[in-house]
Amino acid sequence: MASDPELALDLLAEDLPAAERQALALGLALRRGAGDRATDFYIPWAAPDGERYLVRLRCDGYDGQAPSFQFVNPGNPEETGPQWWARMGGLGYPRGDRGEVVFCTPGIREYHQHSSHRGEAHPKAVWKLARVVALTWTYLNQCGPYAGRGGV
């Protein structure tokens, strides 16, 4: 999807304060990637077994498209893959059209891009950054029980 990077930055600047308040209210930390022009945001999480995880919300093209939700290597956030995901016992793990793991819920880019959901119409409010922060909390706290790293 073609988008204006400057517009995405402006829209993120408008929505970031609400997302930061949402993260704080939910007990999550929301960090922006390097630089004030970054469109990646990170939510670190420590699992009950002490394993450390990092969720990347990639917001390029915001708000013309939903943020991407991917678990990434905490030591190298550009490295994605099923081995970095926190498994939750209450979930199945569908794959996207490119084979990536998908948190299959409206508001997540991979959901909206999947061939089985492209015909659905959702208002942009579904993927506002604060709501996606709340979806992250839902994944980490209500989709469980936690079942270890990877293997999804």
pLDDT digits (tens, 9 = 90+) for 99-135: 888 899 999 999 999 888 988 999 999 999 999 999 9
The Cα–Cα gap between 74 and 43 comes to 10
Q: Helix, strand, or coil here: 141?
A: helix
User: What percent of the chain lies above the pLDDT cut of 70?
Assistant: 99
pLDDT digits (tens, 9 = 90+) for 58-72: 999 999 999 999 999
The Cα–Cα gap between 7 and 17 comes to 17
Contact (CB, 8 A) for 69 and 93: no
Q: How many CB atoms lie within 10 A of CB 111?
A: 22
Q: How many CB atoms lie within 10 A of CB 99?
A: 8
Q: How many CB atoms lie within 10 A of CB 115?
A: 8
